[in-house]
A and B are shown apart, each in its own frame.
Chain A
Amino acid sequence: MYLIWIFVLLPLLGALVAWLIPDNRRRALVLPVVAALHLALTVTLLVQTPPPSPDRWIFLDPLGKLSLLCNSILFFVCANYAVGYLKLRRKRPNRVLCISLLVCLSAMTLVAIAQHLGLLWIALEMTTITMAPLIYFNRNARSIEATWKYLLICSVGIAIALLGLFFLAYSTIVAKQEVTLLLGTLIDTAADLHAGWRHAAFIFLLVGFGSKMGLAPLHTWKPDAYGEAPGLVGALLAGGLVNCALLALLRVYQIAVASTEAELFQEVLLGMGLLSMAFAAVFMARQSDFKRMLAYSSVEHVGIIAVALGLGKGALFGALLHMVNNALTKGVLFLSCGNIHRAYNSKSTQFVRGALRRTPWSGALFLAAFLAITGSPPFGPFVSEFTIVSSAFVQQNYWTAALFLLFLAMIFMGMASTVIPVVLGKVPDDLERTPYRDTAPTVWPPLVLMALVLMLGLWLPESLQELLHQAAGLLEGGR
């Protein structure tokens, strides 16, 4: 049990240390150390899961395990990348960055292990707040604007979610039950909560967490934040934060499935998911800023997951698998495109050409990750996307399948027309000279992730499949 608390406190401790260390270079080293410890702890906790805390507020259930695993791996990679990255940005003071990263890690951990919706909500709020200074890392007009929009929209969203929680709690009061926000209890009593309040609660929670997750049309902050934040922050936003918000949504989903109105909730999810994919398709066409393009790709994949959740049954496995794949692949995309951004000092396709020549490794990684994220074998996302499509067919939900495939095709065209010019071709001659070269510290982290993505496409370890099935079981209303 105490292990879990160490687990949450460790990053905070790291943050404290980072605050104390005066020197930029050494401070950066705190990140990988903490990350490594955290990863190790994660693995141990996965192997032997501690029992739920006596008050049942804290428990690491399969869903939590999944998101924890992704986040821990992603953070580990990003932390190692950060060392090399911060070396490039020596002039910038990185105290705030390191501290927020670590606090965010602890918050993410808390999200994963919280079984009490209130606690979950607080942790989520923490992640939101700690990300703000990270987005503002570059300290210019554009980044402040991005931060402002991120902060305002996400705070509004999170506030709405809070109200949703209150509704949920109140519905228990109205249903003459002892008030609680404990997940387990809610799932048990979900069926006999008061319908009207429960409805309202689900909608508010969906909108609240949805805006944090970036479901269209609540995604408006994403392109700005992802576009202006440094690559590694983008990776954590698209991988880590999305997963946290998604986990929160999944908790609601569990309750909804246990209650009588699973269909309606799934309908809504399906609709918003398809809408998100449509938005992504529209905005990715001829996107001239490849970081913003990645933001929309993130919207798309959140949409895919939502669609899968909406389909339910067999698709749930795909949804969870896609959560993992998306997180890892997005990591590769953001880190490699961060490198390219450094190398060209621009993220517009007008100036960035021939990355394969200028930065061979990052260029290749970017290309490979693009192919992966668009669901081409032999990479992981293919497995999850194909699972989702085929289960849509099994449910004979042809319209969904057709739209799904249509949007995927459109998105592929859009992304290809942006990525291929960036990666291929001649390096422009009037390129401003930047010191950046592909070196081990900035290349191996995404490389490792890419290897993972490839592995997931060729071979899903038994244990992982087991975990996914358990988690899917939870979503199907199992306990």
Chain B
Amino acid sequence: MTALADQLLVLCLLLNFAVLGTSRLAFSVRAVALQGVVLGVLPALVHPFSWHLVAIVAGIILVKGAAIPILIVRAILKADIQREFEPFIGYIPSLVLGAIFTALAFIFASRLPLAPEHEGLLFVPASLATLMCGFLVLMGRRKAISQVIGYLLMENGIFIFGLLLAEAMPVMVEAGALLDLLVGVFVMGIVINHISREFSSLDTSRLSTLREE
């Protein structure tokens, strides 16, 4: 079982690279959605069966895999933009950086001991790597949508880590992660709509009138 979990985690990492490497927003949204589904499946693998578990799996797949992607795709359609033009960090560089960060994540993780029951699992490096890739997207892309996607990646990373605690302190983790996601992304969605109304584009490089000169 745990082997499978690890493979899924590796899949998550690959999806990170997919998000980093593509310029097409729709594609990266799908990638993130897929990642969400994978994350939804993960708990079922690592934890013994319980109704609570079922609830989690269902909830996560629903939110991460369906609700949020749809919300974002809507925004994309409304603002009709397909691609992220001239990103702050190019695609090749961001792939390279992504690789470096992933490596860093593994190094960090190796420094930190795991609880016996989690020995040999990739959770920690995977979560750190995903977190940093999320950061990378946030730092490298100019469009509001891309930044939301980056935020989602970060969330996924945190969630992966949360899975380690899922049985130790059940309510807390999901509550945190879901609330964060829901609220964060939901409000961001609203704001994005306002932005596209105000600026008739989602290019946040336009959103730089407030500065010191």
Chain A interface residues toward B at CB < 8 A: 118, 121-122, 125, 129, 132, 136, 140-142, 144-149, 151-152, 155-156, 158-159, 162-163, 165-167, 169-170, 173-174, 179-181, 194, 196-197, 200, 223-224, 227-228, 283, 292
Contact = CB atoms under 8 A, between A and B. Distances in A.
Given A136-B191, A145-B209, 19 more contacts: A122-B175, A142-B209, A144-B194, A144-B195, A151-B184, A151-B187, A151-B191, A152-B138, A152-B147, A152-B151, A159-B180, A162-B176, A162-B177, A163-B131, A163-B158, A170-B165, A179-B165, A180-B169, A228-B210
Contact of B210 (A142, A158, A181): A142
Contacts of B195: 144, 148
Interface in B162-185: 162, 164-165, 168-169, 172-173, 175-177, 179-180, 183-184
A283 B213 CA distance: 10
Interface in B96-124: 111-115
Contacts of A152: 138, 147, 151, 188
Which of B172, B175, B207 has the most CB atoms of chain A within a 10 A radius of its CB?
A: B172
Contact of B165 (A132, A136, A166): A166
A196 B112 contact: yes
Which of A122, A148, A174 has the most CB atoms of chain B within a 10 A radius of its CB?
A: A148
A148 B161 contact: no
29 contacts: A118-B169, A122-B176, A129-B183, A129-B184, A132-B187, A136-B191, A144-B198, A145-B208, A145-B209, A148-B195, A151-B191, A152-B138, A156-B138, A156-B154, A162-B180, A163-B131, A166-B158, A169-B165, A169-B169, A169-B172, A173-B165, A173-B168, A174-B114, A179-B169, A180-B169, A196-B113, A197-B112, A223-B210, A292-B212
Question: Which 9 pairs between the two chains have the least Cβ-Cβ distance?
Answer: A179-B168, A224-B210, A145-B207, A118-B172, A173-B115, A155-B184, A163-B158, A141-B198, A196-B112
A148 B207 contact: yes
Given A136-B194, A141-B198, A200 B183 contact: no
Which of A145, A167, A174, A200 has the most CB atoms of chain B within a 10 A radius of its CB?
A: A145
Interface residues of B, number: 42
A342 to B, nearest CB: 20
A167 B169 CA distance: 13
Interface of B is mostly: helix
B193 to A, nearest CB: 10
Contacts of A224: 210
B204 interface: yes
Interface of A is mostly: helix
Interface of B: 111-115, 131, 138, 144, 147, 151, 154-155, 157-158, 161-162, 164-165, 168-169, 172-173, 175-177, 179-180, 183-184, 187-188, 191, 194-195, 198-199, 204, 207-210, 212
B168 to A, nearest CB: 4
Nearest to B151: A155
B51 to A, nearest CB: 21
A148 B115 contact: no
A145 B205 CA distance: 11
B115 A174 contact: yes
A169 B210 contact: no
A194 B113 contact: yes
Contacts of A196: 111-113
Nearest to B138: A156
A181 B138 CA distance: 30
A155 B164 CA distance: 22
Which of B112, B114, B144, B179 has the most CB atoms of chain A within a 10 A radius of its CB?
A: B112
Given A162-B180, A174-B113, A174-B114, A181 B172 contact: yes
Nearest to B184: A155
B167 to A, nearest CB: 9
A228 B211 CA distance: 12
Given A144-B194, A163-B158, A196-B111, A156 B168 contact: no
Which of A125, A142, A146, A152 has the most CB atoms of chain B within a 10 A radius of its CB?
A: A152
Contacts of B154: 156, 159
B6 to A, nearest CB: 19
A403 B113 CA distance: 40
A169 B168 contact: yes
Nearest to A175: B115
A227 B210 contact: yes
B191 A129 contact: no
A136 B151 CA distance: 21
Contacts of A166: 158, 161-162, 164-165, 173
A138 B209 CA distance: 16
B12 to A, nearest CB: 16
A246 to B, nearest CB: 21
A173 B147 CA distance: 34
A180 B172 CA distance: 10
